[in-house]
Amino acid sequence: MSTLALCGGEKTVTAPFPHWPRVEPAEIDAVVEALGKSATDWQYLCSAAGGGPTAEFEQAFAAFMGSPHAMCTSGGGPALHIAVMAAGVQAGDEVICSPYTWGQSVSCVLQQCAIPVFADIDSDTYTLDPVSVESCITEHTRAIVAVHLYGHPAEATALRALADDYGLALIEDCAQATGAALDGQRVGTFGDFGCFSIGDGKQMIGGEGGVLLCRDERGYQLANAFGQHPARQSHQVTDPELRRYMDSLIYTYRIHPLAAVIAMGQLPRLDTMNGERDANHRRLSAGLAGLPGIRPPLVKEGCTHVWHQYSPSFVPEEVEGISRELYVRALAAEGVPLSLGYVRQPIYLRPSFQDKRYFLGRGLPWSLGYRRVDYRRGDCPNAEERCDRLELSLGAGPGWIGDQSELVDQILAAFEKVTGRLDEVRAFAAREA
C-alpha cells in the first residue's frame, strides 16, 4: 500500500464528486415555457395572488405529503417564521427548541420576540429528546420546534403527544428532510405546521423558496394573513375576524413562481432520488461499520432517512493518541471530504445568546420574558458532547443520487488505508509536535 497522503503519498479518492443542485432538461424546458406564458398570464412572474404555477405546485406538494394545505414561501426560514406567528406565539412566550441545528430553526422564535428554551438531543439521532422537552415545559411555553436534522426524522409521534397533552403547537423544521417519513407518515404532517426549504442544498430544489404545510384551515388562513399579499388573502382568508385585519401590513414572504415551476418538475422524482441517496449512504455506513475511530450515523427503526448530511461520530477511545482534528486531517489528505462537523457549537453557547444581543439589540427578546431565561454550559450535555468531542461531517448529501458506488468505495478505501496505519498517523503527529 502506498504512503499516507498525510505524509506525502498519493491521495486515494480521485472519483469526481457529484454536483448539486441538478436541474433536468425537462425542468429547464418547463421554465422556458413558463416564461413564454408570462406574456399573457402575469402569474408566471408574480405570485402575489397565489394562483398559476404557485397554486399548482402547492396542490401537488400537499397531496404528495398527505397534508390538507400547502403555502409556498420565499424560503424555509420564512416558512418557520410564519409558522411561529400562526401558531399564536406572542412576544415573551417560550418556545422549546433544539440546540443542535442550523440557526434558522431558532431565529424564527427570536424574530417573533419569543424566548427559545433549549431541550437536549438524543445522542443517536441528534434530534430532540422528548423526555428533555417535557422537562422544559413551563406555564409560558407555547410551542415546540422539532428539527428533522440531516434528513433523519425526529421523534414526531412522541412530540405530537406531548404537544397535545400540554396544549402546545408543534412546528416541524423539515428543511433538511423533504420526503422523509416516520412509520410511513411523511414528516411535516405530524405538526400543526411543517416547514420546508427548496433552497439549492436541499433534497428537491426550486433554487430558492420554501413551503409551509398547515394541518388545519385556521392555521392556513393565519399563515396567509401574516405572510401573503392582500391579493391572495382576499380569496384565501375567509374568517370574518381575520378579514377585518386583512392588510398590506405583512411579511413579503412569497415565492418566485419560476421556483415553483422548477420544484414542480423535481417533485415526481423526489422519492426516487431519496431512495438512491439512501442506497449510497447505506453502502458507506456498511463499509465504515467496524473501522476504528468512527461510528456511522444511526437510522432508527421505522425511519425513512433522506440524507441531507452524513454525520458520523468520532470514537476517541478506539484511536488512542489521535485527536479528532488529526483523524480528520489524515482523511482529508486522502481526498475524503471529512470535517469537524456542521453545528460545531450548541446554539445557546453562541454570542447572541450568551450576550443576549440579537442583531446587536439591547436585550430583546429576553427582556420581554415572563421569567428570566439564561443559557449556560451544561444545559444540554448531549448536544455539547456531540459538538465538543464527537461530531464529524462527511460532505455527502443531496448530490449523492444515481449510483455513487465508485466514489463510496474510494472513500472506504481511504478510511481503510488510514485506520490500517494509525501508528504512522501517530508518528506524523509526534514529528510535528
Binding interface with ligand PLP (CB under 6 A):
75-77, 101-102, 104-105, 147, 173, 175-176, 197, 199, 210
Let me know: does 251 contact 112? Beta carbons within 8 Å: no
Task: Give the length of the chain.
Answer: 433
Q: Give the other-Cβ count within 10 Å of 270's Cβ.
A: 17
Minimum distance between the CB of residue 210 and ligand PLP, rounded to whole angstroms?
5
Shortest gap between Cβ of 104 and ligand PLP (angstroms)? Answer: 4
Q: What are phi and psi of 405, to 5 degrees?
A: -65, -30
In one-letter notation, the amino acid at residue 338 is L
Please say which residue, 327 or 342, places its beta carbon nearer to ligand PLP. Answer: 342
> Amino acid identity of 276?
E
| Partner residues linked to 393 by β-bridges | 339
**In the complex, what is the shortest distance from the CB of residue 253 to ligand PLP, in angstroms, rounded to a whole number?**
10
Closer by beta carbon to ligand PLP, 197 or else 311:
197
Cis peptide before 365 (omega within 30 of 0): yes
Q: Is the preceding omega at residue 240 within 30 degrees of 0, hence cis?
A: no
Residue nearest to ligand PLP (CB): 76
Comparison of 253 and 428: residue with beta carbon closer to ligand PLP: 253
152/417 with CB nearer ligand PLP: 152
Minimum distance of ligand PLP from residue 413's CB (angstroms): 31
- Least CB distance to ligand PLP at residue 169 (A): 17
Which secondary structure element, helix H or strand E, spans residue 414, and what is its range? Answer: helix 405-419
Q: In terms of CB distance, is 102 or 126 closer to ligand PLP?
A: 102
Q: Is 367 left (phi over 0), alpha (psi -120 to 50) or beta?
A: alpha
C-alpha cell at 173: 423544521
| CB of 157 vs ligand PLP, minimal distance in Å | 20
Kindly tell me which of 173 and 334 has the beta carbon lying closer to ligand PLP.
Answer: 173
Nine-digit cell string for 205 = 430544489
Distance CA 140, CA 144 (A): 12
Give the whole-angstrom CA distance, residue 191 versus residue 193. 5
Minimum CB separation of residue 242 from ligand PLP in Å reads: 26
The CA distance from 144 to 119, in Å, is 10
Name the grid cell of 131.
423526555
Q: What is the DSSP letter of 241?
A: H
Measured from the CB of residue 359, what is the shortest distance to ligand PLP in angstroms?
17
Euclidean distance between CA atoms 304 and 188, whole angstroms: 13
Comparison of 101 and 233: residue with beta carbon closer to ligand PLP: 101
Beta strands in 215-355, from DSSP E residues, in sequence order: 294-295, 303-304, 313-314, 338-339
Q: How far is the CB of 144 from ligand PLP (least distance, A)?
A: 15
Q: Which is nearer to ligand PLP, 347 or 411 (CB)?
A: 347
- Whichever of 197 and 228 has its CB closer to ligand PLP, that residue is 197
